[in-house]
Copies of this chain bind each other. A is one copy, B any other.
């Protein structure tokens, strides 16, 4: 009974076929890699360019229009129902696919998801979360830019959204959740951060460990919560500084022949480190708080990056990330109607 088997199979991932800066070939190769793991996909893009004919588990849904990085995303999403990301989001909201993935414009993906998918009833505002590949373990950092301002009630919900994702998708039991602030004491921070701290310190269902500072990204907390403005600036500072320091060391290593010889000897040992900092390794950011999982991959993703973005979305489906998020919000009395200021 193939019909029966299909009906009970896991939902497919809706993948935007446009927007991969390294080209259709790379996107298609990434999709094939994810399909090899048994993940079903519906890819919205030009069949001729994608060349995915006959790929097991992959259905190409023809789409010609798409929203580019440099376009105004909200206007684009509102006026172009045929754009690939809008159609992929509709596919998810109509239940034909179970999660949305794009490596195209972050703004367009967020706009298409926010307009096309529904928020969880218990959630006030979705938040964009990055999974930082830090030693000794991954850190979920949110909000990195879905909202430019946040009230205490939003930060409180971000804490629960991040904790649920960390537990469900990254498999971390009792993830340690912290607020990013300008000092570890509970009195430190803007009035909004201080208010959120007080509420989280008294909340149930969450392992809140207090404030962390910018020096404490690695090894202190599993989830770090911030408003979207600070989060975006801080994430880019982290990425920019890592690149700058690595570059300075590389330049110094080439400054004379002896150092250059040393650099050659060290090269193989740097492999795992390079892999660690490779944006392809995490699959990108996730938009939390909607009724279906949404993964925003890097535009510069290689095939590994595309495959990992799809795998991350599939893992969110498989691990029931969304229902577990709702359950955690209820357990912590952090649903929309239970939070202060939620008239």
Contacts and interface: CB of A to CB of B under 8 A. Distances in A.
A243 B216 CA distance: 11
A79 interface: no
A184 B180 CA distance: 24
Contacts of A262: 261-267, 269
A145 B233 CA distance: 16
Interface stretch (A9-17, A245-253, A311-319, A332-340): A245-253
Contacts of A256: 269
* A interface majority secondary structure: helix
Interface residues of A, number: 59
A68 to B, nearest CB: 16
Interface stretch (A20-28, A59-67, A85-93, A234-242): A234-242
A115 interface: no
A342 interface: no
Contacts of A217: 237, 240-241, 244
Interface in A255-283: 255-256, 258-259, 261-270, 272-273, 276
A172 interface: no
A213 interface: yes
B234 A233 contact: yes
Given A218-B244, A259-B265, A190 B148 contact: yes
B216 A240 contact: yes
A174 interface: no
A269 B229 CA distance: 38
Contacts of A265: 258-259, 261-262, 265
Contacts of A241: 217, 237-238, 241-242, 245
A307 to B, nearest CB: 25
B272 A252 contact: yes
Interface string A271-314: 01100100000000000000000000000000000000000000
A135 B248 contact: yes
A214 B233 CA distance: 5
Nearest to A180: B233
Nearest to A253: B266
A130 B181 CA distance: 18
Contacts of A248: 135, 273, 276
A273 B247 CA distance: 11
A331 to B, nearest CB: 30
Which of the listed residues A134, A237, A263, A265 has the most CB atoms from chain B within 10 Å of its own CB? A237
A98 interface: no
A149 interface: yes
B215 A239 contact: yes
Interface of A: 134-135, 145, 148-149, 180-183, 189-191, 193, 213-218, 226, 228-230, 232-246, 248-249, 252-253, 255-256, 258-259, 261-270, 272-273, 276
14 contacts: A148-B182, A149-B190, A181-B229, A182-B228, A183-B232, A213-B236, A213-B240, A217-B237, A230-B230, A237-B237, A241-B242, A249-B249, A255-B269, A262-B262
Given A182-B229, A214-B237, 10 more contacts: A189-B229, A214-B236, A215-B240, A233-B234, A241-B245, A242-B244, A246-B249, A249-B270, A262-B262, A262-B266
